[in-house]
Amino acid sequence: MSSSTHNAEHYRRDSRLLEQARVTVVPPLVDTFAVALGRFDDALFDRAERAGHSQMAFLDAMRELRRRRDEIIRRFRTHLEKAWRSLEAGEPLSMESALAEPSSGLSLISDQELESRLAARNLASVIMRDCKPVLQRLDRRLGWIAGNLVLDNDHNPIGPEHIGVAIHEAFATCELSLEVRLVVIKLCERDLVPGIGRIYEALDQRLVQSGVMPEMPATRSPARPAQRAPEMTREMEREAMAEEDEASAPAWAARFTHRMAGMKGGMQASMGHGSFGDGPSGYAGGAQGVLLEALHHLLQESRGNREVAEPARASSGGDNRPLSQREMLSVLSLLQSTPSATLRAAIGDTGESLAQRLKSEVLSGATQLGVDPSTARLAPVDEDAIDLVGMLFDVMLDERDLEGRPRELIGRLVVPFVKVALLDRRMFVQKTHPARRLLNVLAEACEGNNGESAAERTLMTKVEEVVDRLTAEFNENLAIFLTLEEEFRDFLGQHKRRIEIAERRAAEIQSGQERLESARVRMAQELSARLDGRHVPQAIDDFMRQPWAHHVTMTVLREGEDGDGLRDALALADGLMEELTEAQRQIIGKPWLQSWRPSLQKVFASVGMNPDAASSAVDALHDTLQAVAASRPDLERQLPELPQVALPKVAEDDSVSIQLVGGTDTLDFDSTDADHFRSLAIGTWLDFVDKDNKVQAGKLSWVSPISSRLLFVNRRGVRFCVASPEELAMMVRMGRLRTHEEEDAFDSAMQGVIERLDPEKAAVGA
């Protein structure tokens, strides 16, 4: 604020106007916050009703907020008054300085505190987005009456950033779970933003009426210093590292640990040479720092192997100047807003390395900043970041079921994530990082989503909206990841309720198909038992294979195999066959089918024949039996034309092709595996691997009580595999089925990166 101090020497602060402004804005902000706080009770109760296992956390939060209501409001007011006094004193308080001041006497913060701070910054960005024009005017007018100070969003005492800090401080002493704390801050966004906008407008009008810059030109307020966001990120890194917790380590880290001992010497040699573990953005130590150093070591080895194969590239640029981080971020911002055609092509091409393409794009893009690409190179730490992110997305796009539009949307995230890697390398080693959480939920929504159902198309539209907002709005403020992730999780929660309905429907469809199949099998068995190997007149054969077969199938579907309807139908068939036997013995003068006429008419009626037509059909059967008894084939009659009937078809879900493995007699499988699948619990997930090594997770949704086959649905509740325990056991032997590891997309891709960087595997591949 040196320029502000210089200006203050030439302009006198107007204490009277400052006090009027304070009265106009601070008390109304406090009152608006208090009113909003009073509405949280109902909102939290509604959340508790659908919170599942987190229900008690929300109920406890309701009691906590009621108990501490006065303290919460007081803490909110205290921060705003403190920030305003700093303005009156001519030294406006920076929001970042306010956050850096330990609220409890400790200099270290927990992950929960860090998440709360990110949520507060997210709230500030929402207020800024909705109130930007009036805030630009207030920055100038408040700065003018405070001694012609240059205010920006960071130093305006009643601006979005300080309101975010005030809300963070208000709830700092409350005993709330992280999930509830983030919901509470989100509720502040919903209930406060409209009122805050009106208060800003009222203050602006009051200042105009008091003659403060009434003819203000429409100019932009001074931008925040370019390095502010990276500085904030570094501060967050230093504080968060002090609260390292093994519980926050990514899943792939455990599988990676055994490699570290073998590379310990190499890691020590690489320490302090531009690796992830040093420099302003790195770590001095700790478990996460060790992981980052190990990654850097593997990257160095991999890069060294490539440079041996490409000596010309390795030897070029020994005196080249490395691009600064600001230059890197500027070039990446250009790529983020307008990706080049070659980068888009690389996203769609499974054969090109995204990491190599990104590095080429960054160096060529530097020309737009006036940098000669022939004299520029990447700093080792920045090359590490690009390599890791590029390989991460390579693995994700190659190994997950991402094709077409989903692949394109996930691929568009690669540039923003390189920027995150440059600003905050904890993304690679902290599973709670907001950027990786956002990537995980987006990958979950995109995986296997071909947009063939209305729900899938709606979900993809939401994914596209999130990606568009991220690429348009992400500068160097990581809070946007928290914003988008929370909004998308809310949407995904609604989508998952639709998935549950789809899953139930898939089970109903499969159950209907199996019942229909079972009814057909029973009908075929009964038909075969009566007709196979026996000469039957055409009319009787037509009756048995058409009206009677349809009637039996429908009866089994409606009543099951133990109902009276099936017994009556079988008795009719047996009676008809018995009378045919008598006719074939030339018994003359019998009133054929007299006792079976009502049953026969019922069967003909079941296929749509009216009473007259049904009676004529029964007469045709009667005359045929009489002709058989008289040994006069020429007198046999044909049935009248029968209505065209078809067995009912169960509604199909065509959004995903169904994999049904058939024929177990010749299967080669382990009986132990088959026994395992027979006892598999509903809700168990397995990984299905196709011929292209694409992996799709499937959830056991239903087991047929008829055939014992297992129905698996994908993450959208759509069935894609129906198989018997024996067929599944065979798939295990073929390497097409394996245990599902509940691992998010980011962790799974990082494990793939580690495997690609493995020197031994690289040597085998070469």
What string of DSSP letters covers 530-559?
Answer: HHTT----HHHHHHIIIIIHHHHHHHHHHH
- Among 504, 525, 557, give the residue marking a domain's end: 504
Q: Within 273-425, where are the H helices? A: 286-309, 311-315, 325-337, 341-348, 354-365, 380-399, 405-411, 414-423
Quote the CA–CA distance of 577 and 530 in Å, as a whole number. Answer: 7
Token code pair at residue 639: 């049935």
Say if residues 655 and 719 touch (Cβ distance below 8 Å). no
* 82 shares a domain with 21: yes
Asked if residue 707 has pLDDT above 70, the reply is yes
- Tell me how far apart the alpha carbons of residues 390 and 377 are, in angstroms, rounded to a whole number: 18
Inside any domain, residue 644: no
Residue 722, domain CATH: 2.30.30.140
Q: Count the residues in the chain.
A: 766
For 196-220, the pLDDT digits (tens) are 989 999 999 989 888 888 876 544 4
Q: Is 234 exposed, middle or buried (0-12, 13-18, 19+ CB in 10 A)?
A: middle
Check whether residue 692 and residue 598 sit in a common domain. Answer: no
Residue 242 has pLDDT above 60, yes or no: no
Q: Are residues 435 and 337 in the same domain?
A: yes
Amino acid at 574: D
User: Residue 252's pLDDT is what?
Assistant: 58
Q: 676 and 544 in one domain?
A: no
CA distance 204 to 212: 9
Statement: residue 575 has pLDDT above 90? yes
Contacts of 706 (CB under 8 A, 6+ apart): 514, 515, 517, 518
- Please tell me the number of Cα atoms within 13 Å of 541 on its side-chain side: 9
Residues 562 and 670 both lie in one domain: no
Q: Considering its fold, how many domains does the chain have in total?
A: 4
Tokens of 226: 């370019």
CA distance 504 to 500: 6
pLDDT class for 289, splitting at 50, 70, 90?
low
Query: What's the pLDDT score for residue 603?
Result: 92
pTM above 0.85, yes or no: no
Looking at the fold, whether 559 and 462 belong to one and the same domain comes out as no
For position 268, what pLDDT does the model report?
Answer: 43
Tokens in use for 277? 């573990």
Whether the CA torsion 319, 325, 328, 330 is positive or negative: it is negative
Domain annotation covers residue 582: yes
Going from the C-alpha of 243 to that of each of 7, 100, 712, the distances in angstroms are 42, 15, 42
d(CA 143, CA 232): 24
* Distance, first Cα to last Cα, the chain: 58
Least confident segment among 99-103, 526-530, 689-693, 746-750: 99-103
**Cα angle, residue 666 at apex, residues 663 and 671 outer, rounded to 5°:** 95
Residue 384 within a domain: yes
Q: Is 742 helix (H, G, I), strand (E, B) or coil?
A: coil
Q: Are residues 554 and 487 in the same domain?
A: no
> Percent of the chain, pLDDT > 90?
17
Q: Round to whole Å and give the CA distance between 734 and 315.
A: 47
483 and 363 both lie in a single domain: yes
State whether 698 and 605 are in the same domain.
no
Segment 71-90, tens digit of pLDDT: 999 999 999 999 999 888 88
Are residue 684 and residue 622 in the same domain, yes or no? no
* pLDDT score of 82: 92
Which one, of 212, 89, 95, lies nearest residue 153 by Cα?
Answer: 95
- Secondary structure element (H or E) that encloses residue 34, with its range: helix 15-49
Q: Which domain holds residue 190?
A: 2-217
Q: Which stretches of 426-478 are DSSP H helices?
A: 434-446, 454-473
SS3 717: coil
For residue 280, the model assigns a pLDDT of: 36
**Contact yes or no for 701/711 (Cβ under 8 A):** yes
Per-residue model confidence (pLDDT) at position 438: 92
Q: Cβ(469)–Cβ(414) under 8 Å? A: no
DSSP alpha helix (H) spans, 157-285? 160-170, 178-209, 228-242, 251-262, 264-270
The total of other beta-carbon atoms located within 10 Å of residue 472's CB is: 10
| Tokens matching residue 228 | 């502010």
Tell me the average pLDDT of the chain.
78
- Residues 333 and 435 grouped into a single domain: yes
Asked if residue 761 is part of any domain, the answer here is: no
Q: Which amino acid is at 248?
A: S
Contact 556, 523 (CB under 8 A): yes
Place of tokens 């601070």: 26
